[in-house]
Amino acid sequence: MGIQIFCSSSYKCLRCYLINARSLLNKLSELYHYLRVIKPDILLITESRLHHGISSGLLDPDFEYYVLRKDRGGGVCVFVSRALNVVQIDIDSLFDNIELLSFDLISEGSRLRFFVVYRPPHH
């Protein structure tokens, strides 16, 4: 699913995609296609099912994206083009029980905050 989400004088139009992967490891060729051919500015992934033993270098071997991850439960993961200025936001430990990742895009003094949240079906 792709969506063009934001246009202003501070930001170019961003091409963002949201994917429910249901495990990235068995879909690496599809991930590489998105990153190399479609070239999104931001790729948001739910149910990444990654763990600490999987390096971000395996996910982005060309080192063209910042890879932000929360490898808990089903997990969430975000790829942000290195052409953008990004800062990951630490979420209060109060929200450790949900799969939530947040980051800011910074451009010419303005910030645009993103959240990617996955709510498992049984919650």
Question: Cα(84)–Cα(69) distance, rounded to whole angstroms?
Answer: 17
The count of other CB atoms within 10 Å of the CB of residue 8 is 11
Which residues touch 44 (CB under 8 Å, ≥6 apart)? 16, 17, 18, 19, 76, 78, 114, 116
What pLDDT is attached to residue 4? 46
Q: Are 4 and 14 within 8 A, CB to CB?
A: yes
The answer to whether residue 5 scores a pLDDT higher than 70 is no
Residue the block writes with tokens 């963002």:
16
Contact (CB, 8 A) for 36 and 79? no
Q: Give mean pLDDT, residues 90-107.
A: 85
pLDDT digits (tens, 9 = 90+) for 10-58: 556 889 999 999 999 999 999 999 999 999 999 999 999 999 999 999 9
For each of the domains in the chain, give its residue range(s) and CATH number, in order of start: 2-118 (3.60.10.10)
Q: In what helix (H) or strand (E) does residue 106 lie, and over which residues does it extend?
A: strand 99-107
